[in-house]
């Protein structure tokens, strides 16, 4: 006689990018074991594991590779809440040097959207650049390296096309080297306009408010994105 199969609960969430509702299930024990190894994994492995887990836990209903990075973060954090627990322990560093142990609830996370955010950016009076949201792995690489070269590569990878009133040059039709040469030919002010695309992109945020029991300071800490929450 075979052992019984237990039903796994399902939940629903709304994707930040499209407002589409999707169903998901928690991690299974075998999947959670894989997560415990991520602290020693490189960026590529972290990205692969997170994407694979989201794929199976959303019943393969999404094109995970095509999702904006903030959708990946939001789904994963909700998976974590239903699988491991809603509360996350954190340590807040007060300006006096005291370390404050506290926690926040994943269910209180907010998706912050900037009303000035746009995907089409005019860099001259004639030419504009259309941007697309980078993959989760690209974001991890930028956080890990934290240098100008990685930021340039992120922008190059995020160019969807270049346009004027008469033509549209799709980035997919040109080699990366040529796109990079185009980005490097921009002025500093033009480059800053592209950086603004990332700075104003939707973010998963959490504010943590604490009172220091040593100096009495009211601390407000802000966490943004999966890289700051767990990885």
What torsion, rounded to 10 degrees, do the Cα atoms 126, 129, 130, 135 define?
180
Q: What percent of the chain has pLDDT over 70?
A: 97
Domain of residue 220 covers 88-110+204-229
Same domain, 76 and 18: yes
Same domain? 153 vs 124: yes
Q: What is the pLDDT of residue 55?
A: 96
Q: What's the rounded mean pLDDT across residues 25-50?
A: 83
| Cα angle 222, 223, 228; round to 5 | 150
According to the model, what pLDDT value does residue 116 have? 92
Nearest CA among 198, 111, 199, 116 for reference residue 159: 198
Domain count, the chain: 3
Tokens of 9: 């609960």
Is position 167 within any domain?
yes
- Of the chain, the end-to-end C-alpha distance in Å amounts to 43
Residue 2: inside a domain: no
Q: Is residue 73 part of a domain?
A: yes
pLDDT computed for residue 226 by the predictor: 62
Q: Is 35 contained in some domain?
A: yes
Integer Cα distance of 136 and 47 in angstroms? 7
The whole-model pTM stands at: 0.83
pLDDT in the model for residue 231: 41
**Are 135 and 191 in the same domain?**
yes
| Averaged pLDDT score across all residues of the chain | 89
pLDDT of residue 32: 84
Half-sphere exposure of 168 (CA within 13 A, CB side): 8
Q: Across-strand partners of 24?
A: 11
Distance CA 189, CA 194 (A): 9
Q: Is the Cα dihedral 175, 178, 182, 184 positive or negative?
A: positive
Answer whether residue 156 is part of any domain.
yes
Q: Do residues 148 and 78 share a domain?
A: no
1-33: b (≥16 Cβ within 10 Å) or e: eeeeeeeeeeeebebbeeeeebebbbbeeebee
Band of the pLDDT at 117, cuts 50, 70, 90?
very high
Q: Which pLDDT value is given to residue 115? A: 92
CA-CA distance, 131 to 158, in Å (whole number)?
6
* Domain contains 4: no
Task: Answer yes or no: do 100 and 211 share one domain.
Answer: yes
Residue 221 CB coordination number (10 Å)? 17
Residues 102 and 216 in one domain: yes
pLDDT category at 225 given cuts 50, 70, 90 is low
Summarised one tens digit per residue, pLDDT across range 166-222 is 999 999 999 999 999 999 999 999 999 999 999 999 988 888 899 999 999 999 888
Residues 211 and 160 in one domain: no
Whether residue 155 lies inside any domain: the answer is yes
Identify whether residues 149 and 159 lie together within a single domain: yes
- Most confidently predicted of 17-21, 123-127, 198-202: 123-127
Tokens linked to 45: 């492995």
pLDDT of amino acid 74: 92
Residues 48-104: tens digit of each pLDDT: 889 999 999 999 999 998 899 999 999 999 998 999 888 888 888 898 999 999 988
In a domain, 115, yes or no: no
Calpha distance 87→106 (Å, rounded): 6
Q: Is 11 left (phi over 0), alpha (psi -120 to 50) or beta?
A: beta
- Structure letter (DSSP) for residue 27: P
CB of 15 within 8 A of CB of 71? Answer: yes
Among 16, 48, 45, 225, CA closest to 139 = 225
Domain boundary pick from 86, 102, 131: 86
Span of 35-39, 69-73, 116-120, 135-139 with lowest mean pLDDT: 35-39
Percent of the chain past pLDDT 90, that is, above it, reads 55
């Amino acid at each position: 006689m075979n052992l019984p199969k237990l039903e796994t609960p399902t939940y629903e969430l709304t994707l930040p990018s499209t407002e589409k509702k999707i169903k998901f299930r928690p991690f299974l024990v075998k999947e959670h074991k894989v997560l415990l190894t991520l602290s020693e994994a490189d960026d590529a492995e972290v990205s692969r594991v997170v994407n694979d887990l989201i794929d199976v836990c959303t019943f393969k209903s999404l094109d995970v590779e095509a999702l904006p990075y903030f959708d990946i973060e939001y789904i994963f954090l909700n998976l974590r809440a239903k699988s491991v627990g809603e509360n996350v322990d954190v340590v807040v560093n007060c300006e006096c040097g005291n370390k404050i142990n506290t926690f926040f609830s994943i269910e209180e996370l907010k998706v912050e959207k900037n009303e000035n955010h746009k995907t089409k950016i005019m860099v001259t009076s004639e030419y504009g650049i259309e941007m697309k949201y980078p993959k989760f792995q690209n974001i991890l690489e930028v956080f890990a390296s934290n240098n100008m070269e990685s930021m340039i590569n992120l922008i190059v990878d995020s160019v969807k096309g270049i346009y004027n009133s008469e033509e549209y040059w799709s980035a997919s039709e040109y080699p990366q080297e040529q796109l990079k040469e185009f980005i490097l030919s921009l002025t500093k002010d033009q480059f800053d306009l592209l950086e603004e695309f990332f700075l104003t992109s939707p973010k998963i945020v959490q504010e943590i408010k604490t009172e220091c029991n040593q100096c009495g300071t009211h601390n407000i800490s802000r966490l943004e994105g999966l890289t700051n929450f767990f990885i």
